[in-house]
């Protein structure tokens, strides 16, 4: 499980256009954002996601260093394993955020936060309803072969 922040600060990326056209992209820096939370099962190509206005203890439970809390209830049958800091290669959900930003947010201008939410929901649903694509993005070799030995 992981969280990603999506908002109205433009992400400019190169894009294709026929010669002699030079693409124009609107740029904005508006500090409004939403948070997406997702849990992915890479081998199965399945996942779930939700969108929230804030990232805090009630909304998040993945153990990242900046939002640990003693108030977070953990069921007895579960054991939390914290990932090392700055290791996106260990967290398949990071690739969901990369794909979502690349396909849905690059070179986009959003008039309001509702537009961000609609685009974010659309992009996440496109991924979650495509198991083959989700598996290709998130099922790293160490996951698919390593699980054979558990």
Residues 92-105 have pLDDT tens digits of 899 999 999 999 99
Average pLDDT, the chain: 85
Of the chain, the percentage scoring pLDDT greater than 90 comes to 50
Average pLDDT over residues 4-26: 88
Whether the CB-CB separation of 128 and 47 falls below 8 Å is answered with: yes
Average pLDDT over residues 81-86: 74
Whether the CB-CB separation of 43 and 143 falls below 8 Å is answered with: yes
Res 85 pLDDT > 70: yes
* Cα separation values, 134 from 4, 106, 148, Å: 17, 20, 20
Average pLDDT over residues 55-71: 60
Res 132 pLDDT > 50: yes
Q: Is the peptide bond before 20 cis (omega within 30 degrees of 0)?
A: yes
Res 62 pLDDT > 60: no
Least-confidence region, from 66-80, 88-102, 126-140? 66-80
**pTM of the model as a whole:** 0.78
Q: How far apart are CA 61 and CA 42, in angstroms?
A: 19
Runs of H (alpha helix) within 91-140: 93-100, 113-128, 131-138
* Cα separation values, 96 from 20, 30, 117, Å: 35, 23, 16
**CA nearest 100: which of 61, 127, 71, 73?**
127
Q: How would residue 61 be classed by pLDDT, with cut points 50, 70 and 90?
A: low
């Amino acid at each position: 499980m992981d969280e990603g922040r999506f908002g109205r600060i433009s992400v400019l990326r190169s894009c294709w256009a026929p010669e002699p056209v030079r693409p124009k992209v609107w740029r904005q820096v508006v500090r409004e954002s939403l948070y997406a939370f997702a849990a992915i099962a890479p081998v199965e190509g399945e996942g779930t996601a939700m969108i929230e206005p804030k990232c805090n203890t009630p909304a998040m439970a993945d153990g990242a260093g900046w939002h640990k809390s003693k108030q977070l209830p953990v069921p007895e049958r579960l054991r939390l394993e914290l990932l090392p800091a700055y290791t996106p290669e260990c967290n398949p959900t990071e690739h969901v955020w990369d794909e979502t930003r690349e396909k849905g947010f690059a070179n986009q201008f959003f008039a309001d936060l509702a537009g961000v939410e609609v685009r974010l929901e659309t992009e996440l649903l496109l991924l979650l309803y495509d198991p083959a694509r989700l598996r290709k993005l998130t099922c790293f070799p160490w996951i698919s072969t390593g699980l054979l030995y558990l």
